[in-house]
């Protein structure tokens, strides 16, 4: 193989990215097979082998065909390649898995830890992008925006039909499940809006929330009934999978709104549909799905009062620049045997980062 002639330290790196298609003509559109996070020229100038592919479905995808001699895999939550234990076992040379973005639940972290593989992500790289998007989705739901928009497209004009379910966000209570980086950016942005702000996090109260006047609830059961709008900002872990389910939705105010840009599997898919149909939830918005890409017949596409999109909030052009730079920074460190910034590590020397415990 070509790669083995050019000396030690040469790595084979496989990045699994979505196809950009026409978007790839924009050189700023980095998160695609064609533009390869902007890393190709640099990696190849160092003598490394760099493969970018969108082909990721097991068992015979390009990713699978390369596992045997790949050293580094780069994945992205926007086109998740599931790095299962089975794949890890088929990759004897795999030493590093990088997430271009934030959220590494598509990787079997325990299996990586067991094999001594390092997993890291570009912590903080797109938190503002996601926070802005969450504020937008809250407003879309609370103001009942989409029915009015659809009226215009359908050549209709019916103010009462929209306004009968439209509210101000002023004076409402907005709560976040999770009090990490995205939650902080969301609460910061809501500060001048005259809303009561709450957060629930199973970890300690955080000073920075206190300083902004955001109240802490240590119990999900007392937090949920307080909120008119709940936004979810926790990673997908064993403790958060299905956290929002029939029972917890039942604790929310009738007609409250739910925004989820965290991960689809944090909510129970059918409980969301039932709650929208019964009116227990006034609306559901977000960009993350239990399966990505969502199949064309996914029931969430047609449920009432939703404001869902494909997984886009954390991949604005600005965010792409930041997380592509973070991936490069980590590769540079790795090649020089230097440590990454501390909070980039998700699995290090067999240990999982605290947010994944």
Question: Pairing between strand 351-352 and 196-200?
Answer: unpaired
Q: How far apart are CA 296 and CA 42, in angstroms?
A: 38
Q: Is 94 annotated as a binding residue?
A: no
Give yes or no for residue 97 binding ligand NAD (CB under 6 A). Answer: no
Q: Which is nearer to ligand NAD, 75 or 144 (CB)?
A: 75
Q: Using the structure block, give the residue that is written with the tokens 């996601």.
A: 130
Q: Is 312 annotated as a binding residue?
A: yes
Q: Which is nearer to ligand NAD, 11 or 137 (CB)?
A: 137
Residues 131-190 that bind ligand NAD (CB under 6 A): 178-183
Q: Using the structure block, give the residue that is written with the tokens 């998007």.
A: 133
Backbone angles phi, psi at 230, to 5 degrees: -115, 130
Q: Is 214 annotated as a binding residue?
A: no
Q: Is 45 annotated as a binding residue?
A: no
Give yes or no for residue 235 binding ligand NAD (CB under 6 A). Answer: yes
Per the document, the length of the chain is: 357
Judge contact between 81 and 16, C-beta under 8 A: yes
Q: Is 144 a catalytic residue?
A: no
Judge contact between 153 and 129, C-beta under 8 A: no
Binding track, positions 193-222, relative to ligand NAD; x by CB under 6 A: --------xxx-------------------
Alpha-carbon Rg for the chain in angstroms: 22
Q: Is 297 annotated as a binding residue?
A: no
Q: Is 102 annotated as a binding residue?
A: yes
Q: Is the dihedral of CA 125, 131, 136, 140 positive or negative?
A: positive
Q: Is 221 a catalytic residue?
A: no
Query: Which range, of 59-67, 99-107, 149-157, 276-284, touches ligand NAD by CB under 6 A?
Result: 99-107
The DSSP-derived string for 245-311 is SHHHHHHSPTTEEEEE-S-GGGB-HHHHHHHHHHTSEEEEEES--SSSSPPTT-GGGGSTTEEE-SS
Of 127, 187, 198, 330, the one binding ligand NAD (CB under 6 A) is: 127
**Catalytic annotation, pick one of 263, 269, 306, 355:** 263
Of 18, 36, 282, 314, the one binding ligand NAD (CB under 6 A) is: 314
Give yes or no for residue 99 binding ligand NAD (CB under 6 A). Answer: no
Query: Which range, of 65-73, 165-173, 230-238, 296-304, touches ligand NAD by CB under 6 A?
Result: 230-238
Q: Which is nearer to ligand NAD, 172 or 181 (CB)?
A: 181
List CB contacts of 163: < 8 A, sequence separation 6 or more. Answer: 144
Q: In the bound complex, which residue of the shown chain has the CB atom lying closest to ligand NAD?
A: 180
Q: How far apart are CA 183 and CA 259, in angstroms?
A: 12
Q: Is 189 annotated as a binding residue?
A: no
**Catalytic annotation, pick one of 311, 320, 322, 355:** 311
The DSSP-derived string for 33-76 is TTTGGG-HHHHHHTT-EEEEE----TTTSHHHHHGGG-SEEEE-
Judge contact between 53 and 16, C-beta under 8 A: yes
Give yes or no for residue 291 binding ligand NAD (CB under 6 A). Answer: no
Q: Which residue, among 281, 245, 249, has the nearest Cα to 266 in the 3D structure? A: 245
Q: Which is nearer to ligand NAD, 18 or 178 (CB)?
A: 178
Q: Is 355 a catalytic residue?
A: no
Q: Is 301 a catalytic residue?
A: no
Of 13, 169, 190, 262, the one binding ligand NAD (CB under 6 A) is: 262
Q: Is 313 annotated as a binding residue?
A: yes
**Catalytic annotation, pick one of 292, 298, 328, 348:** 292
CB of 154 to ligand NAD, least distance (A): 30
Give yes or no for residue 240 binding ligand NAD (CB under 6 A). Answer: yes
Strand partners, 196: 173
The residues annotated with a catalytic role in the active site are: 126, 263, 292, 311
Task: Using CB under 6 A, list all residues that contact ligand NAD.
Answer: 101-103, 126-127, 130, 178-183, 201-203, 233-237, 239-240, 261-263, 287-288, 311, 313-314, 355
């Amino acid at each position: 193989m070509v790669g083995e002639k050019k000396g030690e330290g040469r790595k084979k790196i496989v990045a699994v990215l979505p196809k950009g298609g026409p978007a790839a003509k924009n050189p700023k559109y980095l998160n695609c097979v064609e533009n390869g996070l902007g890393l190709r020229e640099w990696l190849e100038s160092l003598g490394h082998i760099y493969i970018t592919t969108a082909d990721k479905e097991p068992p015979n995808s390009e990713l699978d065909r390369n596992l045997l001699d790949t050293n580094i895999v780069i994945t992205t939550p926007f086109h998740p390649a599931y790095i299962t234990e089975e794949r890890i076992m088929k990759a004897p040379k795999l030493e590093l898995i990088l997430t271009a973005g934030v959220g590494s639940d598509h990787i079997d972290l325990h299996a990586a830890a067991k094999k001594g593989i390092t997993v890291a992500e570009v912590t903080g790289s797109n938190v503002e992008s996601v926070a802005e998007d969450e504020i937008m989705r809250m407003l879309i739901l609370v103001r009942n925006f989409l029915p009015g928009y659809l009226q215009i497209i359908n050549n209709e004009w019916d103010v009462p039909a929209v306004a009968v379910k439209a509210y101000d966000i002023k004076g409402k209570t907005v709560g976040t499940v999770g009090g990490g980086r995205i939650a902080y950016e969301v609460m910061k942005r809501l500060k001048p809006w005259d809303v009561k702000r709450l957060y629930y996090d199973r970890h300690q109260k955080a000073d920075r929330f206190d300083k902004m006047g955001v109240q802490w609830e240590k119990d999900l059961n007392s937090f949920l009934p307080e909120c008119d709008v709940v936004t979810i900002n926790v990673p997908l872990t064993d403790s958060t999978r299905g956290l929002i389910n029939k029972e917890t939705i039942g604790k929310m105010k009738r007609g409250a709104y739910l925004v989820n840009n965290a991960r689809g599997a944090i909510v129970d898919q059918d409980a969301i549909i039932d709650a929208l149909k019964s009116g227990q939830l006034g609306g559901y918005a977000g960009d993350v799905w239990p399966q990505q890409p969502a199949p064309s017949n996914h029931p969430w596409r047609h449920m009432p009062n939703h404001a869902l999109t494909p997984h886009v909030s954390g991949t604005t052009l600005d965010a792409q620049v930041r997380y592509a730079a973070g991936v490069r920074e980590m590769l540079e460190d790795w090649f020089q045997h230097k440590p990454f910034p501390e909070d980039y590590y998700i699995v290090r020397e067999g240990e999982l980062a605290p947010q994944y415990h």
